[in-house]
Amino acid sequence: MKKWYKGDTHLHTTNSDGNMTPEKLISECKKIGLDYMIITDHNYNTIKKSRFDGDMLIIQGQELTDEPGHVNVWGAKVPHDPPHKLDTVEDYKKLIDASREAGATISLNHPFCSNCPFLLDKDEFKFDTVEVWNTVQHSDNLKNMEWWHEQLIKGNKIMAVGGSDHHRYYGPVSFLAVPTTYVLAEEKTADSILKAIREGRSVVTNSPKSSMIYLTVGSAQVGDTAKLSENDTAEITITKFKKGHKLVVYNNDKVIFTHTAEKNFKTWSAQFKIKEAGFIRAEIDYNLGPVSTRVVAFAERTFLGNRGVKKTNKTMPELFWAFTNPIWIE
């Protein structure tokens, strides 16, 4: 029977540019109750083989990092000795192809990152999933989301994940597992978790303790296909739905259902009609309103490398707090 497992798909240690040893990072992930974690040091296999530490699954991974962009390789040893300083784009492509042949799951990381965007043609690059949500929310994630949604509308079945890209704590502030990727898998094994990710059976939310979205059409859940002729009604349940947060449900390029929480809900549910074949997906959005750009500047300096933000007031755009992968509608 399938079960939801929560984890972080993008983590760094002292084996690359993180400031925690692998042992310390594993301990911290266990403290916050993760079911799985994927250590993805830059160009280095920290975890030689997926294994358990107590009840937590540690999945083998690596972030291939070079001029064309950053790509996470999960579940198989990259067939190349570090350091991976690749001379040409063709060398980069060959290494990723070899990783795939070795059984790896390939994730395209932060494709519209201001500092390190993905420079190859995404239409021609073969990948299993895309990291739509990278680390604490910032404007680059909105670009990732816009591109992903456009691909879905075009009929491209691209699966999405989130990853904290965790390197360190910032004083008392931790962004570990921000965001958290929930995966609906048959069992807690590396093969099962990664298979579910490739099939789009995942929901991304702000943290392990944040809102969770359960979207269904009859017995179909995220990653499944439902027939419109058999069932035109979808059901959604949200746990920890926060006051002021807005649910938005898309049916292809159309918004077919919205609801703004008028108070905090432990559990909230609704039903709505599906209009047409294609896909449906759900998203929870929120708006910080006017905030000091000292906060914005911190985020952009830390995660985007933008040191030119002036100390004036600025309104942040609407951000997303959680989102589902699609249910495909025939």
User: How do residues 193-203 score in pLDDT, each as one tens digit?
Assistant: 999 999 999 99
Residue 315: the pLDDT is 62
Residue type, 38: I
Mean residue pLDDT across the chain: 91
On the question of pLDDT at 316 being above 70, the answer is no
**Mean pLDDT computed over 80-92:** 71
pLDDT at 310 over 50: no
Question: DSSP label at 229?
Answer: T
Sequence-ordered list of residues with C-beta below 8 angstroms from that of 44, at least 6 positions apart, any chain = 15, 16, 62, 82, 83
Q: What mean pLDDT do residues 260-283 have?
A: 99
Q: Kindly list the distances between the CA atom of residue 208 and the CA atoms of 5, 55, 115, 240, in Å, as whole numbers in the listed order.
A: 10, 16, 27, 11
47-83 residue pLDDT tens: 999 999 999 999 999 999 887 889 999 999 877 666 5
Q: What is the pTM of this model?
A: 0.93
Q: Which helix (H) or strand (E) holds 148?
A: helix 139-153
How far apart are the C-alpha atoms of 108 and 89, rounded to whole Å?
16
Question: 273, exposed or middle or buried, with CB in 10 Å at 0-12, 13-18, 19+?
Answer: exposed
Identify the pLDDT of residue 317.
76
Query: If pLDDT is split at 50, 70 and 90, which confidence band does 4 have?
Result: very high
* Gap between the Cα atoms of 130 and 111, Å rounded: 8
Let me know if the fold of 1-209 is the same as that of 211-330.
no
Cβ–Cβ < 8 Å for 249, 236? yes
DSSP state of 163: E
Which DSSP category does 217 fall into?
A: B
The tens digit of pLDDT for each residue in 152-177 reads 999 999 999 999 999 988 778 899 99
Query: Looking at residue 312, what is its pLDDT?
Result: 45
List C-alpha distances in Å: 187 to 1, 8, 35, 163, 183: 8, 17, 11, 21, 10
pLDDT at 117 over 90: no
- CB-count burial class (<10 Å; 0-12, 13-18, 19+) for 162: buried
What does the pLDDT average to over 235-249? 99
Rounded to an integer, the average pLDDT of 222-235 is: 98
pLDDT bracket for residue 307 (50, 70, 90): very low
* Statement: residue 185 has pLDDT above 90: yes
Q: Looking at domain 1-209, what is its CATH homologous superfamily?
A: Metal-dependent hydrolases (3.20.20.140)
> pLDDT tens, 35-48?
999 999 998 999 99
Helix, strand, coil share (%) of the chain residues, nearest 5: 20, 40, 45
User: What is the share, in percent, of the chain residues with pLDDT greater than 70?
Assistant: 89
Whether the pLDDT of residue 290 is over 90: the answer is no
Structural domain boundaries in the chain: 1-209, 211-330
Answer whether 177's CB lies under 8 Å from 208's CB.
yes
* pLDDT value for 14: 97
- CATH assignment, 211-330: 2.60.40
What percent of the chain stands above pLDDT 90? 73
Mean pLDDT lowest for which of 82-86, 237-241, 279-283? 82-86
